[in-house]
Structure 1
Amino acid sequence: SCTKHEVCDEAFTLGKLSCEGKTKLVYDINSTTPGRCLIVSKDTITAGNGAKKNIMEGKAEMSTSTNASAMQILNDVGIKTSFIKVVNKNRTFAWKCHMIPIEWVIRRVATGSFIRRNVGVKEGYRFAPPKLETFFKDDENDDPQWGREVLEEAKLKCGDIEITSHLIDMMEKMSVTIFEVMEKAWQTKDVSLIDMKIEFGIRCDTNEVILADVIDNDSWRIWPSGDKRLMKDKQVYRNLKTITNNDMKNLKENYSWVSEQLGEVAESFRDQTKSTTVAIFMGSPKDMAHCNSIKASCSDLGVNCTLHVSSNGLGPVISGNTVLPVINCPPPSPQWCTADIWSSLRLPSGLGCATLLDPQAAALCSAQILAQRNPAVWARLRVKQMKNFLDLKQSNAELK
């Protein structure tokens, strides 16, 4: 149950050990909210599927913190994850999932095992779009790589759900989007996300495919300033031939640095959303419903709005008096609809404001402009694109 040092807001009792991995344990729990589990991180660092193993004091706490920050970023921009909240320094509440035994590896830069498996590709080759690979989780056979055909023909079943080509399409799209969001997040610290591994699960209570497991400093390669010599991730441990006390000290400093930096990024993403503002001007209070529709759509994209009542002829007049981008979105009226639209489209020379008729489109256009300088808004737009794809795939699958 909770102690005074824990962050949880309800009592729970620990159930049976559901599974144990190399760096964590997963327990069933009994509480007033069903469908959850408890993830307990270990102070263990491993490589080579456990062939190399050491205890690194404090790693569990740093892993929990790093994972919480990564999941906060992803949750905030609309990615569905298993993460719920931190319980204490090495424990996390998560939604219970049937784990899909596939490791999805997304690469921006060719390095490590990729160049060993693909002779002729030089280290540093940049993938655009990111390169996606899948590996079947099987320690005894060193996690063999599976092509798309193998994954489809395997017809894996998780819980009551079969992993169909439709679900594989969805996970491919989610994998690349998750990578690009985290890549954008790390760029705010001048850190290059080189590659990343993730896992998905079928949420037990909803049967949704969601990002599951843990994202921490064991999950990626990160190179500050894009310089491999400055790497801060687990590859430093993999590269060690012998391990001294000083090596372990340096490793711990790396993991602590990553935890602190990503925590700052997570908070920065929330601050960027709060500080981004679009000003909406209306001709009179009669346009309030129309403007509130624009405001609601902006809010969904992480953009704050302020409302102002000014005068008629707003778009062209404002455009002639500012260097900021101006978007016309006139509320159509039955009597003057055509005239209202033409007054926004037909502008005097020297003016350059866009005209959009749909409030949601106006909000989207403003967010796209702001996204050029605001990583948090960029990430929300990227996730919106992903969701549009997923919705279409789901609708098509339901027809079949």
Structure 2
Amino acid sequence: MGLLYEGKAKQLFEGPEPDTVIIRFKDSVTAGNAAKRAQIAEKGTLSAAISLKLLELVGAAGIPTHLLRWLDERSFLARLVEIIPLEVVVRNRAAGSIVRRLGLERGRAFEPPLIELFYKSDELGDPLLCESHIQLLELARPDELQQIKRLALQAQGILKAYFAPLQLELVDLKFEFGRVKGKIILADEISPDTMRLWDSETGQSFDKDVFREDKGELGATYLEVARRMGVR
């Protein structure tokens, strides 16, 4: 089966059935638009197991996703999706880029959660967009954008409630959406690569910030998340 696309952390292959793709998680990790990179043993299998569990979780709650079925320890079969080039970030607390952009105190709570929309473009540095920009660039219709925001808020609420008993606080996360026959569905992955998780008691990071900020060993961090989730 032919390789369709290779990204920083995943590969996409032609699927065995029409309108399907195989998503395979790599052991690579990057930060700063790939300025910093490394290979972490078993990262791909851990990210795949975590993502599969979380996609199944939100799917069971009624969020339409691209997930079809598990294939092997680092791959799953998914629907072929027309990706909308938006990164939809839902924030429960201030961390990362919003702290730098707005001068907010790290950890400041947002109630209700804050949604930010970024243009998915490495060449442009994933710029922050307003809804008028999205219409100007014809990335999504107004009704599609409202549905995307509604699904993003609903999915983060499900995930936040799931992580709470595991002593993990969902600080923020990034979603990507796409179209299948005109229907908006959740695509990509949900893993510590795409969200921030803090230990509820200590505030310790259990996500890619460990790599970004040299806070510890990333493989052990992802393994602990998988262990708390019961997928390792």
TM-score when normalising by structure 1:
0.56
Structure 1: distance between partners of 2:22 and 2:227: 23
**Greater mean deviation of Cα atoms: 139-148 or 193-202:** 139-148
Structure 1: gaps spanning 5 or more residues: 1-13, 157-162, 242-246, 265-400
TM-score when normalising by structure 2:
0.95
Distance 1:226 1:133, change over 3 A: farther
Which residue of 1 is the match for residue 191 of structure 2?
Answer: 216
Which residue of 1 is the match for residue 6 of structure 2?
Answer: 20
Which residue of 1 is the match for residue 177 of structure 2?
Answer: 200
Match runs of 1:275-354 below 5 Å:
none
SS of residue paired to 1:122: coil
Structure 2: distance between partners of 1:138 and 1:27: 22
Which residue of 2 is the match for residue 179 of structure 1?
Answer: 156
* 1:29 and 2:24 correspond: no
Match for residue 251 of structure 1 among 218, 224, 231 = 218
Deviation >6 Å, runs of 4+: none
Displacement after TM superposition at 1:115 (Å): 1.3
Structure 2: gaps spanning 5 or more residues: none
Match for residue 65 of structure 1 among 39, 49, 73 = 49
Give the greater-gyration-radius structure (CA): 1
Larger strand share, 1 or 2: 2
SS of residue paired to 2:15: strand
SS of residue paired to 1:188: helix
Displacement after TM superposition at 1:226 (Å): 5.2
Q: Percent identity?
A: 29
* Kept in 2: contact 1:102–1:137 (CA 8 A): yes
Distance 1:184 1:231, change over 3 A: same
Tell me the number of residue pairs that the alignment of Structure 1 and Structure 2 aligns.
231
* Kept in 1: contact 2:15–2:77 (CA 8 A): no
Structure 1: distance between partners of 2:64 and 2:206: 27
Structure 1: distance between partners of 2:185 and 2:130: 21
SS of residue paired to 1:30: coil
Which residue of 2 is the match for residue 129 of structure 1?
Answer: 112
Which residue of 2 is the match for residue 138 of structure 1?
Answer: 121
Question: Whose RCO is larger (CA < 8 A, sep 6+)?
Answer: 2
Displacement after TM superposition at 1:71 (Å): 0.8
* 1:233 and 2:168 correspond: no
Coordinate RMSD, CA, aligned: 1.4
Displacement after TM superposition at 1:194 (Å): 0.4
CA offsets, 1:241-269, max 9 Å, x none? 9xxxxx5xx221111111222246xxxxx
CA offsets, 1:210-236, max 9 Å, x none? 0001111101111111543x1111001
Which residue of 1 is the match for residue 132 of structure 2?
Answer: 149
Question: What is the one-letter code of the residue matched to 1:236?
Answer: V
Question: What is the one-letter code of the residue matched to 2:160?
Answer: E
Structure 1: distance between partners of 2:70 and 2:47: 11
Structure 2: distance between partners of 1:170 and 1:251: 34
Question: What is the one-letter code of the residue matched to 2:118?
Answer: F
SS of residue paired to 2:166: coil
Displacement after TM superposition at 1:28 (Å): 1.2
Which residue of 2 is the match for residue 260 of structure 1?
Answer: 227
Displacement after TM superposition at 1:67 (Å): 0.6
